[in-house]
Amino acid sequence: MLPTNPVPSPYPSPLRFGSIPPMSLLQASGLAQRQGSEIIFQEVNCAIPQDARIALVGPNGAGKSSLLRILSGEDEPIIGQIQRARQLQIGYLPQEVSPDQRQHSLYQEQLRAFPDLRRWQGELRDLEREMSQNNPADADLLQRYEATSVAFETAGGYQYEHEIRRVLSGLGFAPADEDRPLAQFSGGQQTRAALARLLLAAPTLLLLDEPTHHLDIAALDWLESYLTNYERAVLIVSHDRHFIDAFAREIWELEGGTLTRYRGNFSQYQAQRAERQLRQEKEHSRQQMFLQQEQEFIRKHLGSRLTTQARGRQKRLQSLTQRGGIIHAPKKQRRPRFSFAEADRSGDEVLVTQQLTVGYDESNPLLSVPDVTLRRGETVAILGANGSGKTTLLRTLTSEIPPLRGAFRFGTGCRIGYLEQAHAALHEEDSLLEMLLASQAMTLSRARDELGRFGFSGDDAFRTVATLSGGERSRFALALLAQTAANCWLLDEPTHHLDLPNQAHLQRALEDFSGTTLLVSHDRYLIAALATQIWQVAGGEIHPFQGSYAEFTAAQQDHLHRSRKETTKRSPSPADPYTVDLPKPSTMTAYQRRKRQQELEILIQQLEGQLAQLEEQLAAASTAGAVALVRELGEQHGGQAQALEQALQEWQEISE
């Protein structure tokens, strides 16, 4: 992945700390919080160091968002204390931002991340105007201009506008979006806009609640790279296993009301967690055996000649209990038992397409599908940007909407099961039990058992759909899907809203499924585990790739590496230092265009910085009357300006 170079922040540095340990930005002790009458966590102790890369994980409802709000200062705990470093700037992103109805544009919203730079820029313009209108040689004006200019340049004043465009592009916004009013964007887009502004502001501590929810895979890759190279502290609540694996250096697990910390990324956390639970089980068993032996000795010898020893042991057991020395067995959390009954085996040919085009408008189709034959047992991961037509393809294959052109057919014996991303088929006012009984003929007892397998036990069966959280709705939709006994799944974002344990259970169930699966997902961890081929949506077409996700990403990286090697075949010259022999944008995949666009944004930033330095040197040389130096610097400036113009033109072509 490309390295990122965030603009230096204008915030004061270094930080001055109070009583907090010198390597911590924030320290919390004894935190507790309730939701309604229920205590959701207590005795939470934690510290966030200056270079933190922390992922906060845990099941839905454990209190992760509540803890983040407390650490950010948005909420107060019912018990406990928080110490924050002096001059600590916290950037907090909730799961869903409040709808922004203001009419200022997306770009204007990002400018709010740079108040000091904007102020200095305005002061420079005022000083330039004053010097041109009054006395250009005024020593006081020149001194003020020099001081403000140095502050502006040091804080990244000559790069921040391109940094805005780079971050917006990385998070999936097109150049045409920059001038659109924020009020016209969807809730997910407004959340991404808020995330962009936080990244640009570069606070000392970022607290991000599910920042990956509204991102496609290209944007996820970009955000991973950006945060990995972020020079300040980051704490993220996330259910994206691939993202946590790539980003985190420490895992905080909030479960059962307590916070446990693990060193390392997601894979290391899983291994440490399993080892810790096994060790706790063994220690619990040994202690229980010891306690039984001691209690048996006490029972047997009280009142005998060994009464004194028995009473001594009794006091030691009482002391052990009073000081909290009893080792408890690991808590066994009730987990769904996802499994999918399979219908009779389908034929070898599962899906055949012929010149298929999908969309809603004949004059503006969304997606063209090459002639493909999908065979039994394959798992196809359909990847592409948001809005590229992936869901529309699944809706077409379920005959929910007709194809614009061409045709498709499913093979002999295929039975289709479709999981909608929005779960629109769920009836809000019905109870879970009513909906399940209406979907399949079964006994009441079996229906209760089926709901229990997906985590809805006891009175949960009588809850209405309207009362379910996002994760619960996903589990219930899977419970309904499991009753269809399909042998061909069409799954649209099946892990969306599921917490980490439930994602793992679903993955195992899909690994055990012997039928065929078409999977639309941004869950790279799931894709890497299941996919046998990749259908990449780019430029309004599907580009099939035969192979796993690891092989697909390796092929993409190899192509980019070969493209970059082309840049070294020619020796750079002042007039043409960054010419690249690359494919035309129209022939690139969406992934290649996004990567090239990021490269160009870094290049443009570098060229503009170099041009600014050359202009300062030209001004000094002109003042000194150094004619030869002025000529040489002028030639360099012309070459750099030409290179910048070419880079901007290529960036514009790719963006369009």
Pairing of strands 488-492, 416-419: parallel
pLDDT at 404 (0 to 100): 94
Assigned architecture for domain 24-114+157-264: 3-Layer(aba) Sandwich (3.40)
pLDDT at 202 (0 to 100): 92
pLDDT at 360 (0 to 100): 92
Residue percentage of the chain with pLDDT more than 70: 86
For residue range 491-513, what is the model confidence (pLDDT) as tens digits?
A: 999 998 898 988 998 999 999 88
Q: Which amino acid is at 336?
A: P
Contact 476, 467 (CB under 8 A): no
What is the average pLDDT across 456-481?
A: 88
pLDDT at 171 (0 to 100): 92
Longest alpha-carbon distance in the chain: 112
Question: What is the distance between the alpha carbons of residues 230 and 234, in angstroms, rounded to a whole number?
Answer: 8
For residue range 578-617, what is the model confidence (pLDDT) as tens digits?
A: 344 455 666 666 656 767 777 788 888 778 777 777 766 6
DSSP tag of 587: G
| Coil/strand/helix, residue 578 | coil
Q: Average per-residue pLDDT in the chain?
A: 83
Question: What is the distance between the alpha carbons of residues 303 and 485, in angstroms, rounded to a whole number?
Answer: 67
Question: What is the distance between the alpha carbons of residues 409 and 373, in angstroms, rounded to a whole number?
Answer: 10
Burial 509-524 (b: 16+ CB within 10 A, else e): bbeebebbbbbbbbbb
Pairing of strands 533-538, 541-546: antiparallel
Contact 55, 238 (CB under 8 A): yes
Q: Is the pLDDT of residue 632 over 50?
A: yes
pLDDT at 589 (0 to 100): 63
What is the average pLDDT across 416-421?
A: 90
What is the average pLDDT across 620-629?
A: 50
Among 54-63, 120-129, 434-443, 576-585, whose mean pLDDT is lowest? 576-585
DSSP tag of 203: -
DSSP tag of 183: G
- Sign (positive or negative) of CA dihedral 216, 218, 220, 222: negative
Q: Is the pLDDT of residue 576 over 50?
A: no
Q: Which amino acid is at 47?
A: A
SS (H, E, C) 419-470: ECCCCCCCCCCCEHHHHHHHHCCCCHHHHHHHHHHCCCCHHHHHCEHHHCCH
The values of phi and psi at residue 111, to 5°, are -60, -25
Q: Is the pLDDT of residue 24 over 80?
A: yes
Question: What is the distance between the alpha carbons of residues 215 and 593, in angstroms, rounded to a whole number?
Answer: 17
Local confidence band at 8 (pLDDT 50, 70, 90 cut-offs): very low
Q: Which of 391, 370, 382, 379 has its CA nearest to residue 350?
A: 379
pLDDT at 393 (0 to 100): 95
pLDDT at 572 (0 to 100): 43
For residue range 559-573, what is the model confidence (pLDDT) as tens digits?
A: 766 765 664 454 344
Contact 354, 408 (CB under 8 A): yes
The values of phi and psi at residue 207, to 5°, are -120, 110
Q: Which amino acid is at 351?
A: L
Q: Where are the alpha helices (DSSP H) in 171-301?
A: 187-201, 217-228, 241-247, 266-301
Q: Which amino acid is at 92?
A: Y
Local confidence band at 136 (pLDDT 50, 70, 90 cut-offs): low
Q: Which residue has the higher pLDDT, 467 or 572?
A: 467
Question: What is the distance between the alpha carbons of residues 601 and 157, in angstroms, rounded to a whole number?
Answer: 16
Burial of 180 (0-12, 13-18, 19+ CB in 10 A): middle
List the CATH code of the domain at 349-556: 3.40.50.300
Question: What is the distance between the alpha carbons of residues 226 and 156, in angstroms, rounded to a whole number?
Answer: 17
Question: What is the distance between the alpha carbons of residues 561 and 6, in angstroms, rounded to a whole number?
Answer: 24
Question: What is the distance between the alpha carbons of residues 584 and 600, in angstroms, rounded to a whole number?
Answer: 14
Question: What is the distance between the alpha carbons of residues 43 and 28, in angstroms, rounded to a whole number?
Answer: 10
* Residue located via tokens 């909030």: 254
Contact 469, 499 (CB under 8 A): no
For residue range 308-361, what is the model confidence (pLDDT) as tens digits?
A: 888 888 888 888 887 777 777 777 666 667 777 766 788 899 999 999 999 998
What is the average pLDDT across 421-439?
A: 86
Local confidence band at 631 (pLDDT 50, 70, 90 cut-offs): low
pLDDT at 633 (0 to 100): 61
For residue range 213-262, what is the model confidence (pLDDT) as tens digits?
A: 888 888 898 999 899 888 899 999 999 999 999 999 999 999 989 999 99
Question: What is the distance between the alpha carbons of residues 42 and 33, in angstroms, rounded to a whole number?
Answer: 7
Question: What is the distance between the alpha carbons of residues 296 and 219, in angstroms, rounded to a whole number?
Answer: 63
Question: What is the distance between the alpha carbons of residues 349 and 361, in angstroms, rounded to a whole number?
Answer: 30
pLDDT at 80 (0 to 100): 94
pLDDT at 579 (0 to 100): 40
For residue range 519-554, what is the model confidence (pLDDT) as tens digits?
A: 999 999 999 999 999 999 988 999 999 999 999 988
Q: Is the pLDDT of residue 290 over 60?
A: yes
DSSP tag of 19: S
pLDDT at 12 (0 to 100): 30
Q: Is the pLDDT of residue 2 over 60?
A: no
Q: Which of 557, 653, 632, 645 has its CA nearest to residue 603?
A: 645
Q: Is the pLDDT of residue 56 over 90?
A: yes
Local confidence band at 6 (pLDDT 50, 70, 90 cut-offs): very low
Q: Which amino acid is at 426?
A: L
Pairing of strands 405-410, 533-538: unpaired
Q: Is the pLDDT of residue 288 over 50?
A: yes
Question: What is the distance between the alpha carbons of residues 167 and 156, in angstroms, rounded to a whole number?
Answer: 15
For residue range 355-392, what is the model confidence (pLDDT) as tens digits?
A: 999 999 888 899 999 999 999 999 999 998 888 899 99
DSSP tag of 209: E
Question: What is the distance between the alpha carbons of residues 323 and 343, in angstroms, rounded to a whole number?
Answer: 57
Pairing of strands 90-93, 488-492: unpaired
What is the average pLDDT across 85-101?
A: 88
Q: Where are the alpha helices (DSSP H) in 531-626?
A: 549-566, 590-624
pLDDT at 137 (0 to 100): 67
Pairing of strands 233-237, 53-57: parallel
Local confidence band at 577 (pLDDT 50, 70, 90 cut-offs): very low
